[in-house]
Amino acid sequence: MRIGIIGCGAIANIIISNITSEDSGIDVVYFFDSDIERAENLAELANGIAVLDFKDMLNDVDLVLECASPDSVKTYAPTILEHGCDMIIMSIGAFMDKEFYMKALKIAKDNNARIHLPSGAVVGLDGIKAVANFNLEEVNLVTRKSPKSLGKDINTEEVLFEGKASDAVKKFPFNINVAATISLACNQDINVKIIVDPKVDRNVHEITVRGDFGEFKTTTMNYPCSTNPKTSMLAALSAIKLLKSFNETISVGM
Ligand SMILES: NC(=O)C1=CN([C@@H]2O[C@H](COP(=O)(O)OP(=O)(O)OC[C@H]3O[C@@H](n4cnc5c(N)ncnc54)[C@H](OP(=O)(O)O)[C@@H]3O)[C@@H](O)[C@H]2O)C=CC1
Ligand SMILES: O=C([O-])CC(=O)C(=O)O
């Protein structure tokens, strides 16, 4: 499978450093970034090709992996899907815009393309998907990050946001894509609290789900990426696992 990457930052660098075509059947060939130097550096590392225009990769890839920004999804995904290329999208917050979601869905269906949204920086999506249609009374996400991760200069704990996921992704587009992933998995605009906490050095996501099935809670205490503290390492690792799973005969879990 031939892949092109859009966005050559923290997630892309972890993916390239941890995936080989021998163990995955994946060839990451093209690299695009608004900063061409970043695309060139990563292309050099991966023995690939940096492109000045994302369209230059579309005739030669099976799948485009977006790890750039929610705006980039809205700008590039329609053209990519029209080409019949599959996509993995990390900036999942873009899909909380219902109109855009429906548009992307239609283009993908019309062009026989698939859109994959990895579990990213949280655990528990398997369970959330399983119980989604069984009368959920409560789905909550509490995210706790350091001032560095949230770009704040404060030394006391503070609730920065309390509300719905659809608002959270607008106010914190680079910190709370996981709220969109959970919302899409259970088909609800979930409740989100974002806390800046000087006592933590992890990106912590606590999910609580309650309904007819019972209740579960998951806590993910992520190490942030060294080059981008907003982003957890697990986000990149989940994309790597998803890429490798395309080549599996037996798949375990969801
Ligand atoms: N689903 C999940 O669980 C998670 C999702 N994410 C999301 O994944 C995305 C990538 O994260 P990460 O690798 O840490 O981000 P980085 O900021 O480290 O890298 C993103 C790169 O993409 C570039 N870029 C941004 N917008 C565009 C655009 N429109 N066209 C071309 N290049 C662009 C950036 O350039 P510049 O810096 O100049 O903007 C930067 O070089 C982010 O949107 C992030 O919020 C992150 C963590 C978890
Ligand atoms: O990586 C994380 O911990 C979560 C994150 O930034 C996001 O969901 O956008």
pLDDT attached to residue 124: 97
Q: Strands across the sheet with 49-50, in order?
A: 49-50, 27-32, 2-6, 63-66, 86-89, 115-116
The DSSP secondary-structure symbol of 198 reads T
Nearest to 211 by CA among 129, 123, 134: 134
Which single residue is written with the structure tokens 């899909």? 95
Residue 69 near ligand 1, beta carbon < 6 Å: yes
136-145, strands of its sheet edge to edge = 158-164, 191-196, 136-145, 203-211, 214-222
Q: Which residue, judged by its Cα, is nearest atom 44 of ligand 1? A: 174
Question: Of residues 51, 205, 225, 240, which has the active-site annotation?
Answer: 205
Residue 111 belongs to some domain of the structure: yes
Pick the closest to residue 160 from 193, 190, 191 (CA basis): 193
For residue 25, the enclosing domain spans: 2-120+235-246
116 is catalytic: no
Can you list the residues of the chain whose pLDDT is less than 50?
Answer: none
Nearest residue by C-alpha to atom 3 in ligand 2? 232
* pLDDT of amino acid 237: 98
Report the pLDDT value the prediction gives residue 25, as an integer from 0 to 100: 87
Beta carbons within 10 angstroms of residue 173's beta carbon: 15
56 and 180 in a single domain? The answer is: no
pLDDT at 66: 99
The protein residue whose alpha carbon is closest to atom 5 in ligand 2 is 175
Q: Total structural domains in the chain?
A: 2
Whole-number pLDDT of residue 73? 98
In angstroms, the CA 151 to CA 136 distance is 34
Residue 253 is predicted with a pLDDT of 86
Q: Domain holding 209: CATH number?
A: 3.30.360.10
Cα 65 from chain centroid (whole Å): 10
Q: Which atom number of ligand 1 is nearest to the Cα of residue 231? A: 47
Q: From the CA of 175, which ligand is nearest? A: 2
- Same domain for 88 and 191, yes or no, is no
* Cβ neighbours of residue 102 closer than 8 Å, sequence gap 6 or more: none
Q: In this structure, are 152 and 52 located in the same domain?
A: no
User: Closest Cα partner for 28 from 195, 226, 135, 45?
Assistant: 45
The complex's ipTM works out to 0.99
Annotate 121-181 with DSSP letters as a single string.
Answer: T-S-HHHHHHHTTS-EEEEEEEEEE-HHHHT---SS-EEEEEEEHHHHHHH-TTT-HHHHH
Q: What is the pTM of this model?
A: 0.98
